[in-house]
Copies of this chain bind each other. A is one copy, B any other.
Amino acid sequence: MTVGDLGEFGLIAAMTARLPRGLRALVGIGDDAAVLATPDRRVVATMDLLVEGSHFRREWSSATDTGSKAAARNLADVAAMGATPVAVLVGLAAPADLPVEWAEDFSSGLAEECATTGASVVGGDTASAPFIMIAVCALGDLAGRAPVTRGGARPGDVLAVAGPLGRSAAGLALLATGRSEPAELVAAHRRPRPPYRRGPEAADLGATAMIDVSDGLVADVGHLARASGVMIDIRTRWLVPDTGLLAAAAAIGEASALEWMLTGGEDHALAATFPPDTVLPGGWTVVGSVLTGSGVRVNGSAPVGRGGWEHFR
């Protein structure tokens, strides 16, 4: 059965059946708008688009993986403010010949990833389009914390990272060269696992600035440096590729594990700056330092080559 057979309202019903209602939803799916409790008197809000062919391919990622990834991108943005995700709205534009099963599995993936953070899907929209396009809006709760922006890094701070680097890029490179091993890296591309809890943790530790690594470490740390008016120097001796990344790089030949860690996006690790005396718990790795000046450096030098991912180019 296709989405066209089912029609708009049937599609919404089929998707909604896979989406458990959240505790924060005072009014959930099915009305003109959702109503969400925000006891903190503030709400964190972000939106991301995923376009078929650009952000995912149906032959490389299952519907469940695509739903999970669509959620993860947005939930990680909420975490990067120091907040806990609480709700998600999702827009799905799709061709009429899309199997209903794809939309159902997409919803399941979305719900599964949301559930890992305690968030739930509270609303959205569907539309007809020649290919799949997904919009996700995620809302989050700061629970009394000050938001951690990109703009607070100060000279003397340390740069630290929580979560994986380069694994999604390695997985994509494996898929693009017809490989499926190491399977863990292909899985990391299909279904990133951002370290959501590390966002509020960083805020509680006194993080001065934070960003989620969606475009690549060098590019995203560059955003931090620009917003904060500082220079940030990444030290590669602190970036240690694991055996999986090294094996993938060796298999592909032209690739470098370290380059994936520096420039690969979509793992949604968190990069944050902390005052120099901060005692960082396990899970955080210091990978650089904040200096006076501007821009991002790698081992003291301006990075060469492709620093990250930019659309339209």
Contacts and interface: CB of A to CB of B under 8 A. Distances in A.
Given A31-B81, A33-B83, A81-B32, A124 B47 contact: yes
Interface in A277-313: 310-313
A227 to B, nearest CB: 7
Contact of A123 (B27, B45, B51): B45
A8 B83 contact: no
B147 A312 contact: no
B149 A31 contact: yes
A125 interface: yes
A140 B40 CA distance: 16
Contacts of A313: 4, 7-8
Q: Which interface residue of A7, A32, A42, A89 has the most chain B CB atoms within 10 A?
A: A32
Given A43-B38, A139-B43, A49 B126 contact: yes
Interface string A244-262: 0000000000000000000
Range for the number of chain A residues in contact with chain B: 35 or more
A1 to B, nearest CB: 12
A96 interface: yes
Contacts of A9: 310
16 contacts: A7-B312, A31-B150, A35-B43, A36-B44, A37-B42, A38-B43, A47-B135, A49-B125, A49-B127, A50-B127, A54-B127, A54-B129, A126-B311, A128-B312, A135-B137, A137-B137
